[in-house]
Amino acid sequence: MVSLAPRLKAITNIMRSIIIGMNPTKAQYRKGCAWYRLQDWIDELDVGIVAFTNLSHDPHWDKRTIDREHVLSCVRGHDKVIALGGLVSKILTKLGVDHFTLPHPSPLNRQINDPEFISDKLKKCRNYLNLGVYI
């Protein structure tokens, strides 16, 4: 007999996790871009499907105006929130949203050049998603 427990755990994480980025890029998608790196990280976190939104849907966002209601309505119903980068984390903190911060996956972010750093962050994120622990 096959146990459904692992599948149920994955389904539970799917329903509760949301990733929040800054805003869509103005650049064309290409090899090595942030979106593909984020997809690799999601695969490594082994959470299956997660919800995703940006703080703004405007590629030309001024990074000063925040639609608080949009952000808060997006996180409602999700008890695991992942911020992509320091700016998103700062805004979520101001809004009182508990979250885990991953580095922004942009090729412009030099932190992503350190595989040990990324591996450690993904391990900590996995602990947060599965246990709710910030180690």
What is the per-residue pLDDT across 79-99, written as a single tens digit (0 to 9) for each? Answer: 899 999 999 999 999 999 999
Mean pLDDT of 41-52: 88
pLDDT in tens, 16-45: 899 999 987 776 666 767 888 999 999 999
Give the whole-number percent of the chain exceeding pLDDT 90: 53
pLDDT of 115 > 90? The answer is: yes
Residue 107 predicted with pLDDT over 90: no
Residues 6+ apart with CB under 8 A from 52: 18, 19, 20, 21
Q: Which residue has the higher pLDDT, 93 or 8?
A: 93
The average confidence (pLDDT) of the chain is: 84
Distance CA 22, CA 135 (A): 25
Answer for the pair 84, 21: CB distance below 8 angstroms, yes or no: yes
58, two tokens: 């405007």
Domain 11-130: assigned CATH number: 3.40.470.10
Q: Above 70 in pLDDT, residue 5?
A: no
Look-up of token digits 């996995």: 126
102, HSE (Cβ side, Cα atoms, 13 Å)? 30
Is the separation of the CB atoms in 109 and 118 below 8 Å?
no
Q: Cα–Cα distance between 83 and 49 in angstroms, integer?
A: 16
As a dihedral over the C-alpha atoms of residue 62, residue 95, residue 18, residue 100, rounded to 10 degrees, the angle is 100
Report the pLDDT value the prediction gives residue 132, as an integer from 0 to 100.
63
> Does the pLDDT value for residue 7 go beyond 50?
no
Residue 24, burial from CB neighbour count under 10 angstroms (0-12, 13-18, 19+)? middle
pTM (2 d.p.): 0.81
The residue extents of the domains of the chain are: 11-130
